[in-house]
Amino acid sequence: MAEATLAQTLFFLATIFLATLLLGTLLVRARIPVILSALFVGIGIHYLPQAALLKTPVYQTIFSFLSNLGVLFLLFYIGLQIDVKKIHTMSSDIVTLTLLNTIIPFIFGMAAMLLFGYGWMIAFVIGMTRMPTAEAVIVPILDEFKLIKTRIGTFIVGAGVLDDVIEVFLVAFVSVWIGIRAGEESGSDEIIILTFGVIAFLLFFWIMYRYFYRVFNRVIPQNAASLLILSLMILFVFGAFSEKSEIGMVVGAIFAGIIIKPMLADIHPAGDTIQKIISLLSYGFFGILFFFWIGYNIDMAGFIKEPILAIVLYLAGTLGKLLGAMLMVPLKKMTFKEALITGIGLDARLTTEIIVAQLLFSAAIIDTHLFTALVAASSFTALTVPLLFALLVRYFGKDMQYHYYTTNNVKYKGRR
């Protein structure tokens, strides 16, 4: 890279982080995720005269690479949140809520896409993007109001954990679909190669998940520096393996997080330190660059001219989540107030939905109009959910301060 290009790149990065920091200090007061400020900065910079430089091939390459690293780290961190053992112990009420809260938004989203004339496969995938919940948006607010261990917190966090499985399936499905489409364009031999690649990757994952911790726990020093290097090595190995297998590096990133999770959970305090470092890298550095690049590529002019699609996608997810939670009331699993607040809390969508939109857009499967609508709908939930959730919790007050837990399948309910 030429010296002048390097200097300009560093200047661009400094400008991005400074603008994100300044805007983020305003957003955080309204309990809006700070990372969204990078999205807005990207949208703003897109319309500045100096931004024309970012459209040159060299800067397209640089920022696309940094954006891909952002995807890799964000999904790696999502993988770290998946506790395979904990999923088996979930209450039947939480499983019921998750099913209702994912199937209904999926149906609404799929119907909306078909209504707008999109094909069945696009409708299926976009319907799936209405299903996940972004715990990163809502969990900090639960913690701030001391609701993590209450019935509301248990339902939202529990459903969020099960949602992580859906996120894995969604990203994996989209990545494999993109690979199959590429194979269809290249010939049937590519599909055979993809099939063997998927099988090899799953076998590699199973071996690593079963034996990795046992082997490396004996030979790797249990300090923060060694664990961080090991974690990054696993991330890049799995990212490269899944990319080489034609299923996409994003699947490898999630599976790498699932493998590393048990080891970090068992090694204290170094494991906790590494999880915090990865969280900071994901949302404080690479994630900012990813969301900036997403914002920069959004067609805001097209959105302003035709906002209907974004509004419909937003309503499909929001109304679907609310209806799914409200169905818990006639089932006598929740009160009306609990269902209302839980439905709002589970409506938060951010990282996974935008990553899927970027994957589809980069593969030329969706156009700029749909890509912009998806990002706009996701960003709007990240803006509105924290505000609505905080207002409802403050309004209902002590009615939300109930514990909810199960012991030997017996349910208990009591005030804090």
| Reduced 3-state DSSP string for 136-157 | HHHHHHHHHCCCCCEHHHHHHH
User: Which amino acid is it at 56?
Assistant: T
With tokens 């690593």, the residue in question is 208
Is the per-residue pLDDT at 412 higher than 60? no
Distances (CA, A) of 393 to 34, 143, 152, 231, 304: 21, 12, 10, 38, 33
C-alpha 370/C-alpha 39 separation (Å) is 17
What is the dihedral angle through the alpha carbons of 33, 258, 176, 299, rounded to the nearest 10 degrees? 10
- CA torsion sign, 276 to 394 to 134 to 154? positive
Banded model confidence at residue 413, pLDDT cuts 50, 70, 90? very low
CATH code assigned at 110? 1.20.1530.20
Residues of the domain holding 159:
3-415
CA distance 413 to 411: 7
Express each pLDDT in 311-323 by its tens digit: 999 899 899 999 9
Most confident of 72-81, 100-109, 179-188, 201-210: 100-109
DSSP line for 172-234: HHHHHHHHHHHHHHH-HHHHHHHHHHHHHHHHHHHHHHHHHHHHHHHHS--SHHHHHHHHHHH
Cα Rg, the chain, nearest whole Å: 22
Confidence of residue 416 (pLDDT cuts 50, 70, 90): very low
Banded model confidence at residue 40, pLDDT cuts 50, 70, 90: confident
For residue 275, is pLDDT > 50?
yes
What global pTM score does this model have?
A: 0.67
Collapse the DSSP code of 321 into the 3-class scheme (helix H, G, I; strand E, B; otherwise coil) and give the result: helix
Beta-carbon contacts of residue 72 (< 8 Å; ≥ 6 apart): 235, 239, 249, 250, 253, 286
How many domains are there within the chain?
Answer: 1
Picking from 119, 136, 122, the residue whose alpha carbon sits closest to that of residue 33 is: 136
Which pLDDT score is estimated for 320?
92
Which has the minimum average pLDDT: 23-32, 188-197, 352-361, 372-381?
Answer: 188-197
In the predicted model, what is the mean pLDDT of the chain? Answer: 78
245: three-class secondary structure by DSSP: coil
Token pair recorded at residue 182: 């590429």
Q: Please write the tens of the pLDDT for every residue from 170-190.
A: 777 787 777 776 665 544 555
**35 in Cβ contact with 291 (< 8 Å):** yes
